[in-house]
Amino acid sequence: MEKIIDTHVHTWDLKQLRLPWLDTEEYLAQTFTEADYQKAMTSDRFTITDALYVEVDCAPNDREKENDWIIHQCNCATSIFKGAVIAGDLATDQFSESIETYRSSILGVRQVLHVPERERGFCLQPQFMENVRYLGEIGLTFDLCMRNEELSDGYELAKSCPGTSIILNHMGNPNMELLSQPLTDEKKKYRETWFENLKKLSDLPNVYCKISGVMETEQARFEDFSEEINQVMTLFGEDRILYASNFPIIDLGGGLNKWTDFLLTLTAERTKEFRRKLFSENAQSVYLKQK
């Protein structure tokens, strides 16, 4: 049985937090608890021993409430959460002061960049880059979650912050609907650009990649994306890839168990060392090293 550290889990209580992006959702617009997450992983092939909480892009005035709650959870001996990546506004000159309260209790910071109100180039502002460099100086990571079409911005950011471990979320958020379609010139060009940007990012030793973000569609199953996932893992290499479920978002296209079973099958012919690194050891070294 494979022992797994899940590097990307969301839970939220809609009685406590407002998540504006759920206004256009149906299934996700409900409370998801840690108990719901633990119920979702029922398999005789794997066990998730630890999980890392990732901020849920709640309303800014609820961030302190979210931070206090997850830090409390991580300190509970019975919780599966062993660390948290919290939200931060990296475009402000007050960021370093605001993060000081939490720095000893968290693993890293994320600011979602793929929402409509984030213009292209947002992460290339001098203040933003300075704050990402600051995270590395104090031993924290930065989770990079951005539109696939803007991965070249992510590359410039990561290149300018060599002392910060930057973890690319969801393989760069590719358009799964487009990738699931029959091969067209549009799909071919999109795929080529995606991999060109991933190749540039993977050439930077401080960039890691979460193997996640793949969603089954009406046209395609996880297996149909095997080639792309294998290519991403090869690009970043066995030392810089991390398993992630993206619960509960993964419920929209396959579910946690099916996704994990697929990855176990996909990597079955890889070495034991490769699988250990993907499913647990890299998470331990990049996120939990200070714990």
Quick: pLDDT tens for 207-255.
999 999 999 988 899 999 999 999 999 999 999 999 999 999 999 999 9
Asked whether the predicted pLDDT for residue 174 surpasses 80, the reply is yes
Indicate the pTM of the whole model: 0.94
pLDDT digits 0-9 by tens, 58-90: 999 999 999 999 999 999 999 999 999 999 999
CATH code at position 14: 3.20.20.140
Bridge partners for 81 per DSSP: 51
CA distance 230 to 35: 32
Q: What is the pLDDT of residue 158?
A: 98
Q: Which domain holds residue 182?
A: 2-286
Instruction: Give me the chain's average pLDDT, please.
Output: 94
Q: What is the pLDDT of residue 93?
A: 93
pLDDT tier, 26 (very low <50, low <70, confident <90, very high otherwise)? very high
Q: What is the pLDDT of residue 130?
A: 97
Q: What is the pLDDT of residue 290?
A: 52
Mean pLDDT of the region 24-44:
92
Mean pLDDT of the region 88-117:
91
> In whole angstroms, what separates CA 267 from the centre of its chain?
20
Asked whether the predicted pLDDT for residue 118 surpasses 80, the reply is no
Q: Please give the backbone phi and psi of residue 28, each rounded to the nearest 5 degrees, phi first.
A: -75, -15
Q: Going edge to edge, which strands form the sheet with 81-87?
A: 2-9, 46-54, 81-87, 108-110, 141-144, 166-168, 207-211, 241-243
In a domain, 193, yes or no: yes
In a domain, 66, yes or no: yes
In a domain, 291, yes or no: no
Q: Please give the backbone phi and psi of residue 205, each rounded to the nearest 5 degrees, phi first.
A: -65, -15
Compute how many other C-beta atoms are within 10 angstroms of the C-beta atom of residue 25. 12
Whether 215 contacts 176, CB under 8 Å: yes
Kindly tell me the number of DSSP H helices and DSSP E strands found in the chain: 11, 8
CA distance 210 to 93: 29
Number of domains making up the chain: 1
In a domain, 30, yes or no: yes
Q: What is the pLDDT of residue 166?
A: 98
